[in-house]
Amino acid sequence: MARPVAGETRAIVHPSQAFRKFSYQAWAPDPPVSRAVNRFWRTEWNLTEPFAQTIVPHPAVNLVVQADSSITVTGVLRHNDERTLDGSGWALGALFRPGGFRLVHDVPMRTLVDLRVPAQDIFGDNATRLAQAIVAAPSVERALAAFAAFISARLPEQVTPAEELAALVEAAASEDPPVTRASELAERMAVSQRTLQRLFAEHVGVGPKWVLDRYRVHAVAAQTQAPPTSWAEVAPKLGYTDQAHLTTDFGAHFGLPPGPTSGRRSRPHSTVQTGRRDHAGRRGVPIRHNLIRQMCHEIRVAGHRA
């Protein structure tokens, strides 16, 4: 199943305005679904006029079912995502971990970048049946159970390179200060930057530097929920050169400088907690690089044969 959780809405632009227009809830998945999924989320709206909401997307895939029984897969979006809500409706989604979608389907992630496609293109009629089950569910809890069962049934028995890559990225992004250079990730994995790029293209869809940068600007957004007394002190802790660098980066994504005027201090009644849990439910995921290194070796061998 899944547990209601509280925490962050860092991807939402102008959340104080947004949560006057729609509700937002989130749940942390239990094992084994937590191997692949960061969280389940649900929004619901009832509007008398259209409302455009902008999202600064997470570096991961979303699988989303809507009230009209449509079901879509959205790859990593390198641009802000603006969706217009109108009338009444709801959406229930699964936000995967970076690389987590590869645990449920072997589609190369680079082929989904900047795309939103019908889930039937990937899962066939099983996607239609999932959407029907969620729409027909008598409660949100039953809908979440159907969603979790769909994902759980597709998980591999063994830990995969994509899973270990996700844990490595999440750990690097959560350090203080966070890792901000792809070269440092490559050093930790004992691979070349070229091999690292290939791994990310295959399992995440975008390059490691882009993923690390996205985590960093989301970390700034999280800070604006309770703005610090000095952004100049925060900047180096998040890997920025100085306050001007932080302000420019945040403004490029969210449209204005960080702070109380960014409208980020309001929170919905239920959001998501940060942090990962391992398969036994403990905080923190142990990082094992053996499978990643095995894949790196295979990539190098394939390159020599080409």
Could you tell me if residue 156 is left (phi over 0), alpha (psi between -120 and 50 degrees) or otherwise beta? beta
Q: What DSSP state is assigned to residue 179?
A: P
According to the model, what pLDDT value does residue 224 have? Answer: 87
Which domains are seen in the chain, by residue range? 2-152 (no CATH), 161-259+277-305 (1.10.10.60)
- Does the structure show a pLDDT above 50 at 270? no
* 304: pLDDT strictly greater than 60: no
What is the reported pLDDT for 295?
A: 54
Q: What are phi and psi of 51, to 5 degrees?
A: -135, 125
> What pLDDT is recorded for position 103?
97
Q: Is the pLDDT of residue 293 over 80?
A: no
Place of tokens 């496609």: 117
pLDDT band at 49 (very low <50, low <70, confident <90, very high): very high
Largest separation between any pair of C-alpha atoms in the chain: 61
pTM: 0.84
Residue 306 has pLDDT above 60, yes or no: no
pLDDT in tens, 78-118: 999 999 999 999 999 999 999 999 999 999 999 999 999 99
- If you average pLDDT over every residue of the chain, what do you get? 86
Please report the pLDDT score of residue 272 as a whole number.
Answer: 36
Q: Report pLDDT for 265.
A: 42
pLDDT recorded at residue 7: 55
Mean pLDDT in residue range 119-127:
98
Strand, helix or coil at 95?
A: strand
pLDDT at 89: 98
pLDDT band (50, 70, 90) for residue 190? confident
Q: Compute CA 65 distance to the chain's CA centroid, rounded to the nearest angstrom.
A: 17
pLDDT at 115: 97
Percent of the residues in the chain that have a pLDDT greater than 90, as a whole number: 72
Select the highest-mean-pLDDT range: 43-57, 175-189, 281-295: 43-57
More confident residue, 275 or 264: 264
Whether a cis peptide bond, with omega within 30° of 0, leads into 268 is no
Residue 261 is predicted with a pLDDT of 46
Per-residue three-class SS string for 256-276: CCCCHHHCCCCCCCCCECCCC
Cα–Cα distance, 301 to 9 (Å, whole number):
43
Q: Which residues lie across from 31 on neighbouring strands? A: none
